[in-house]
């Protein structure tokens, strides 16, 4: 309890001290404090409290009072008076957005904005980007132009959903410009909508809805100076944000603008030759010897008039066919004729002969009128097209007495979004030229609008050549500064893309552009004398001239000639008699003649034999006879005389690859990406390259194309492809020769390790540029490498890392097992094994090194029956044994037969009694010829074995016969006689 008492006493003493201190301070005045609202509670209520401007300077602040509801807001041109908590109108000379804020003065970076520079390249962390920030330039803020990333951010808290609107000028696609928003959860906007569209010579407006709560706005740029050229920065101005709780004050009008009435939501720029200071209610006129441009905060002395301050033009032709030469000052006139050294305006009124009408027009009452449908003219009189022909419609302007009705000139000033419609281009008889402008940074624009296109019946509708129309113009530029001349094509004057641009002085030359879409109906020529901002007028003499403009196949156009329809079928009711595909029209006869086999028809010359162009090696004409294609199969005659066949179908799908990394001066990385569609039939999918930096999404399609790719770590969320162009849109041929149709592919670019020749595909592009006047071309070498299984192993020449050494001809080496010739019987050999157990095996193996793929497969192992050496040896021994036994048996048989014959003969001799030439008498008991009896045999059975042998070996008698005992009666008688003798 004692401790609580001490604490209470201490608080009481402190209160007395503070009260004594506040009693010594003076009472607060209204200038010593300001009002603020507390945070809103759950019921949407808040309190108004007084906050001193400086602490401990006064006392007696007003007590807190109930504030307005959190949803309370004021209208445009009003502000919230915190004293009365009521909306009041802004005073003259000021403006307000009500529930929004605006930033249109950029002398310094406004409060709340933060800018910083950073490097997005991890491989070059030593790059100093601290000074690469957005820089205020008075009327706008400009991005960096070096190879760093510059960030501009602003945080705002909205009490209700609001809108952000700003203007930007983004002329250079070498800078990647993005805008995105992060909310309370640090979630960013979609990557598809964050990339800003190229401005194309005009301040662009961007508007996006904001959610309630905290929003952080980011503007980010990253520069890639790929060619070392100067880069134009991104400009940003007039940032307006709505949806804040309230604004308690009005903003003063910046110099050069004013608001004459109370409650203004914006300030109006001062007209030319007037000026104003900050917070002005009216604009003041300049003195007579001074001038001011629109929106100026001060006046400048008028310079002396020169020849660049006036221009000349022509009046319409009169009834005599004459026109007057007229000189006029450039409006608004800023020069002075009274200053020493000033030139006077030349006298007008000189008469000249009117130039003729342009082709397709005729003279009518001193004016040029277009010819009607079905007729043509050379500028004098209209003539009907003959039967079997059709007018070649379009526009051809080569005489400039009057600005055509579908053309308009205008001047665009960078300082303001409103375009002044002052004269920028003026007619001069043989050409049209740019007049001197107010500022050297002005864009002098000439716009041509067409309603659309229609192909003539003599044209060919084919997917390989999709030329809908063609625009050609002849121009010339004469400059002393870094002037630029742009040619743009697109949907209209403000939605187009830069097709080509030229810098500095350029001699008189022609340029053509192929139109492939019916949506391309606007063409703009823009001339800018210099890009340096805040430069005084000193390059007015720099000029651009256009001598002629022609565009074909325009709906509602006029015709300067007629032509026959030989290439395609004619619609019903047409008088044209076309030739079938593969035929050309004989000059002047109307008859159709067949082209030689495997040729295509030139669309630009459908008449005459010269229209038939022979297809290149290993290509065939398409069905419409408008181009040559390859079905990915071909045959090549080798030096040895053999024929090698190839099938590149596995490589036919569109393949993408990129060059080795390239680095800018500060080490930022980028690639050159190529897309290749090697071959295929008419239904093939062509290779394509897309520009996804801008919202236009420009795409080119053909056989080979290229684009510049920035890695994803630079672009935070997606890979960026920009600056696409065609390398080849037509196939010339496929051969092993190193030169075809003036396209060369030296062997030294890709030295070969084996003796097998490379197959080279040659392509050409019809797009011509100032550097490649004959168009671009490409040569793709297909080299057999059985060890490469990947289908996209494509390399570039070692001495030309971007694929080209001259910028016009590109070279590629494609190594793959699918680039080998098809296998045949010549690519494998057979191995015959020994005969084992009556079986012999024949195995087939590939020859090494193997230089083929596909084709004939390796035959399976073959098994056949065989006979071994042991078998033949045994067979021989057995056969010999059998033959010996058989021979012995035969010998014994004939020996026995001989013995029988001997016996018979002996018997006959004994029966004859020794008388020669007498045969014995027939004995009934004698043995008949052919009979065998028991007594035919020698009586040896009763004798011993020794006696039998002895009887066989006894000597013969004197008569030459052996004595043989016989079993007959004579023999018995003979034995009796011998016995009697012995007795």
**Count, residues in the chain:** 983
Residue 547: pLDDT above 90? yes
Average pLDDT over residues 456-473: 67
Average pLDDT over residues 454-467: 59
Average pLDDT over residues 713-726: 71
Least confident range of 238-252, 559-573, 641-655, 853-867: 559-573
Residues 103-143: tens digit of each pLDDT: 888 888 888 899 988 876 554 556 678 888 999 988 889 99
Contact 224, 120 (CB under 8 A): no
Q: How confident is the model at residue 175 (pLDDT cuts 50, 70, 90)?
A: confident
Least confident range of 595-599, 628-632, 652-656: 595-599
DSSP state of 483: -
The confidence score (pLDDT) of residue 600 equals 85
How many helices and strands, by DSSP H and E, does the chain display?
6, 67
The confidence score (pLDDT) of residue 22 equals 52
Q: How confident is the model at residue 166 (pLDDT cuts 50, 70, 90)?
A: very high
The confidence score (pLDDT) of residue 107 equals 85
List % helix, strand, coil for the chain (3-state, nearest 5). Answer: 15, 35, 50
Residue 565: pLDDT above 90? no
Residue 519: pLDDT above 70? yes
Per the model's pLDDT, the better-predicted residue between 14 and 353 turns out to be: 353
Residue 982 is encoded by which pair of tokens?
């012995």
Average pLDDT over residues 813-829: 90
> What is the average pLDDT score of the chain?
79
Residue 460: pLDDT above 70? no
Q: CB within 8 A of 655, min separation 6: which ones? A: 675, 676, 677, 678, 791, 792, 794
Q: How confident is the model at residue 188 (pLDDT cuts 50, 70, 90)?
A: low
Whether omega before 849 lies within 30 degrees of 0, making that bond cis, reads: yes
Tell me the DSSP string of 644-661: EEEE-GGG-S-EEEE-S-
The rounded Cα 633 to chain-centroid distance in angstroms is 25
The confidence score (pLDDT) of residue 427 equals 87
Sign of CA dihedral 923, 925, 929, 934: negative
How far apart are the C-alpha atoms of 192 and 200, rounded to whole Å? Answer: 20
Which value, in Å, is the radius of gyration of the alpha carbons in the chain? 56
The rounded Cα 908 to chain-centroid distance in angstroms is 125
The confidence score (pLDDT) of residue 55 equals 80
How far apart are the C-alpha atoms of 397 and 337, rounded to whole Å? Answer: 37
Per the model's pLDDT, the better-predicted residue between 135 and 869 turns out to be: 135
Average pLDDT over residues 271-291: 91
The confidence score (pLDDT) of residue 703 equals 94
H-type alpha helices, 122-202? 191-194
Most confident of 272-281, 714-723, 955-964: 272-281
Least confident range of 36-50, 70-84, 711-725, 768-782: 711-725
Average pLDDT over residues 718-729: 84
Q: Of all helices (H) and strands (E), which one includes residue 865?
A: strand 862-865
Residues 523-543: tens digit of each pLDDT: 999 998 887 765 566 788 889
Ramachandran category for residue 543: left, alpha or beta (phi over 0 → left; psi -120 to 50 → alpha): beta
The confidence score (pLDDT) of residue 257 equals 92
CA dihedral 101, 104, 110, 114 (to 10 degrees): 90
Query: Strand 809-816 to strand 777-784: parallel, antiparallel, or no bridges (unpaired)?
Result: parallel
Residue 852: pLDDT above 50? yes
Per the model's pLDDT, the better-predicted residue between 188 and 582 turns out to be: 582
Q: CB within 8 A of 881, min separation 6: which ones? A: none
Residues 780-798: tens digit of each pLDDT: 999 998 888 888 889 999 8
Q: Calculate ∠ Cα 728-729-730, nearest 5°.
A: 100
The confidence score (pLDDT) of residue 642 equals 78
Q: How confident is the model at residue 633 (pLDDT cuts 50, 70, 90)?
A: very high
Q: How far is CA 630 from CA 130, 302, 616, 648, 649, in A?
A: 56, 70, 10, 10, 10
Least confident range of 234-243, 908-917, 961-970: 961-970
Q: How far is CA 493 from CA 202, 214, 431, 499, in A?
A: 10, 38, 22, 14
Least confident range of 103-112, 185-194, 267-276, 383-392: 185-194
Q: How confident is the model at residue 601 (pLDDT cuts 50, 70, 90)?
A: confident
The confidence score (pLDDT) of residue 10 equals 46
Average pLDDT over residues 197-210: 81
The confidence score (pLDDT) of residue 236 equals 93
Residue 514: pLDDT above 80? yes
CB-CB neighbours of 775 under 10 Å: 17
The confidence score (pLDDT) of residue 3 equals 44
The confidence score (pLDDT) of residue 527 equals 92
The confidence score (pLDDT) of residue 941 equals 44
DSSP state of 124: G
The confidence score (pLDDT) of residue 423 equals 75
Residue 488: pLDDT above 60? yes
CB-CB neighbours of 505 under 10 Å: 12
513: phi then psi, degrees, rounded to nearest 5: -135, 130
Residues 873-898: tens digit of each pLDDT: 777 888 888 988 898 989 888 888 88
The confidence score (pLDDT) of residue 416 equals 44
How far apart are the C-alpha atoms of 412 and 440, rounded to whole Å? Answer: 11
Residues 26-75: tens digit of each pLDDT: 888 878 888 887 877 777 788 888 888 888 788 888 888 888 877 777 88
Q: Calculate ∠ Cα 553-558-561, nearest 5°.
A: 85
Q: How confident is the model at residue 415 (pLDDT cuts 50, 70, 90)?
A: low
Per the model's pLDDT, the better-predicted residue between 60 and 764 turns out to be: 764
Most confident of 225-234, 243-252, 333-342, 437-446: 333-342
Average pLDDT over residues 239-264: 86
Q: How confident is the model at residue 771 (pLDDT cuts 50, 70, 90)?
A: confident
């Amino acid at each position: 309890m004692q401790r609580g008492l001490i604490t209470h006493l201490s608080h009481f003493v402190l209160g007395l001290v503070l009260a004594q201190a506040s009693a010594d301070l003076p009472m607060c005045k209204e200038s010593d404090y300001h009002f603020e609202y507390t945070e809103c509670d759950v019921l949407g209520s808040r309190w108004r409290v007084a906050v001193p401007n400086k602490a401990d300077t006064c006392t007696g602040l007003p007590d807190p009072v109930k504030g307005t509801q959190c949803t309370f807001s004021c209208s445009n041109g009003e502000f919230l008076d915190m004293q009365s908590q009521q909306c009041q109108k802004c005073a003259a000379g000021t403006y307000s957005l009500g529930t929004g804020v605006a930033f249109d003065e950029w002398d310094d970076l406004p409060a709340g904005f933060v800018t910083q520079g950073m490097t997005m390249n991890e491989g070059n962390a030593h790059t100093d980007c601290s000074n690469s920030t957005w820089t205020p330039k008075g009327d706008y803020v400009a991005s960096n132009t070096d190879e760093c990333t510059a960030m501009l951010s602003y945080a705002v808290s909205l009490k209700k959903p609001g809108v952000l609107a700003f203007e930007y000028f983004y002329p250079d696609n070498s800078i990647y410009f993005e805008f995105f928003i992060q909310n309370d959860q640090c979630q960013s906007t979609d990557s598809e909508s964050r990339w800003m569209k190229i401005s194309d010579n005009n301040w662009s407006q961007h508007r996006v809805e904001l959610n309630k709560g905290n929003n952080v706005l980011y503007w980010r740029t990253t520069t890639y100076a790929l060619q070392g050229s100067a880069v134009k920065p991104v400009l940003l101005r007039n940032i307006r944000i709505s949806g804040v709780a309230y604004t308690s004050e009005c903003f003063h009008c910046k110099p050069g603008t004013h608001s004459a009435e109370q409650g203004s939501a914006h300030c109006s720029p001062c007209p030319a030759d007037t000026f104003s200071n900050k917070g002005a209610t009216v604009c003041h006129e300049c003195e007579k010897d001074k001038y001011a441009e629109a929106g100026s905060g001060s006046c400048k002395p008028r310079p002396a008039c020169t020849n660049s301050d006036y221009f000349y033009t022509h009046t319409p032709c009169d009834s005599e066919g004459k026109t007057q030469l007229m000189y006029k000052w450039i409006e608004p006139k800023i020069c002075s004729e009274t200053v020493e050294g000033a030139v006077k305006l030349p006298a007008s009124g000189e008469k000249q002969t009117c130039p003729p009408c342009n082709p397709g027009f005729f003279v009518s009452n001193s004016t040029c009128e277009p010819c009607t449908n079905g007729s043509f003219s050379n500028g004098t009189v209209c003539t009907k097209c003959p039967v079997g022909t059709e007018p070649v419609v379009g526009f051809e302007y080569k005489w400039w007495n009057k600005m055509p009705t579908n053309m308009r000139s205008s001047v665009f000033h960078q300082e303001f979004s409103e375009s002044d419609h002052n004269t920028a281009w003026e007619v001069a008889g043989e050409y049209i030229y740019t007049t001197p402008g107010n500022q050297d940074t002005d864009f002098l624009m000439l716009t041509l609008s067409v309603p659309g296109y229609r192909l003539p019946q003599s044209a060919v509708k084919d997917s390989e050549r999709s030329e809908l129309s063609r625009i050609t113009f002849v121009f010339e530029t004469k400059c002393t500064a870094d002037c630029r001349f742009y040619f743009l094509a697109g949907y209209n004057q403000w939605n187009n893309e830069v097709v080509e641009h030229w810098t500095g002085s350029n001699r008189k030359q022609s340029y053509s552009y192929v139109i492939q879409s019916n949506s391309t109906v606007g063409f703009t020529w823009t001339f800018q004398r210099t890009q340096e901002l805040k430069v005084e007028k000193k390059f007015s003499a720099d000029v651009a001239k256009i001598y002629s403009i022609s565009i074909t196949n325009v709906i509602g156009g006029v015709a300067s000639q007629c032509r026959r329809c030989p290439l395609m079928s004619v619609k019903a009711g047409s008088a044209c008699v076309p030739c079938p595909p593969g035929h050309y029209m004989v000059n002047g006869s109307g008859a159709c003649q067949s082209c030689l086999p495997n040729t295509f028809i030139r669309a630009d010359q459908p008449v005459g034999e010269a229209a038939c162009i022979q297809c290149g090696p290993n290509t065939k004409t398409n069905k419409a006879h408008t181009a040559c294609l390859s079905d990915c199969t071909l045959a090549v005659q080798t030096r040895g005389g053999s024929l090698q066949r190839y099938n590149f179908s596995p490589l036919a799908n569109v393949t993408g690859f990129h060059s080795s990394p390239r680095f800018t001066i500060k080490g930022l990385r980028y690639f050159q990406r190529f897309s290749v569609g090697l071959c295929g039939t008419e239904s093939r999918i062509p290779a394509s390259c897309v520009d996804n930096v801008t919202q236009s999404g420009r795409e080119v399609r053909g056989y080979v194309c290229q684009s510049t790719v920035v890695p994803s770590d630079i672009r935070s969320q997606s890979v960026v492809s920009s600056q696409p162009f065609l390398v080849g849109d037509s196939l010339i041929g496929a051969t092993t020769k190193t030169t075809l149709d003036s396209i060369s592919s030296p062997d030294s670019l890709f030295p070969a390790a084996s003796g097998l020749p490379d197959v080279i595909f040659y392509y050409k592009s019809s797009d011509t540029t100032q550097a490649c006047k004959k168009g671009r071309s490409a040569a793709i070498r297909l080299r057999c490498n059985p060890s490469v299984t990947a289908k996209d192993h494509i390399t570039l020449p070692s001495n030309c890392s971007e694929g080209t050494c001259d910028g016009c001809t590109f070279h590629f080496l494609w190594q793959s097992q699918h680039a080998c010739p098809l296998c045949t019987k010549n690519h494998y050999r057979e191995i015959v094994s020994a005969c084992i157990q009556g079986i012999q095996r024949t195995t087939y193996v590939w020859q090494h090194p193997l230089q083929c793929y596909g084709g004939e497969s390796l035959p399976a192992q073959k098994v056949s029956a065989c006979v071994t050496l042991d078998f033949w040896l045994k067979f021989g021994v057995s056969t010999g044994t059998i033959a010996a036994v058989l021979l012995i048996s035969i010998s014994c048989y004939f020996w026995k037969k001989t013995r029988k014959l001997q016996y018979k003969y002996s018997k006959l001799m004994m029966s004859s009694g020794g008388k020669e030439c007498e045969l014995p008498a027939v004995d009934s008991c004698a043995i008949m010829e052919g009979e065998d009896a028991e007594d035919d045999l020698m009586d040896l059975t009763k004798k011993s074995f020794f006696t039998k042998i002895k009887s066989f070996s006894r000597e013969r008698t004197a008569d030459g016969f052996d004595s043989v005992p016989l079993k007959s009666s004579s023999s018995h008688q003979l034995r009796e006689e011998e016995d009697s003798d012995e007795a």
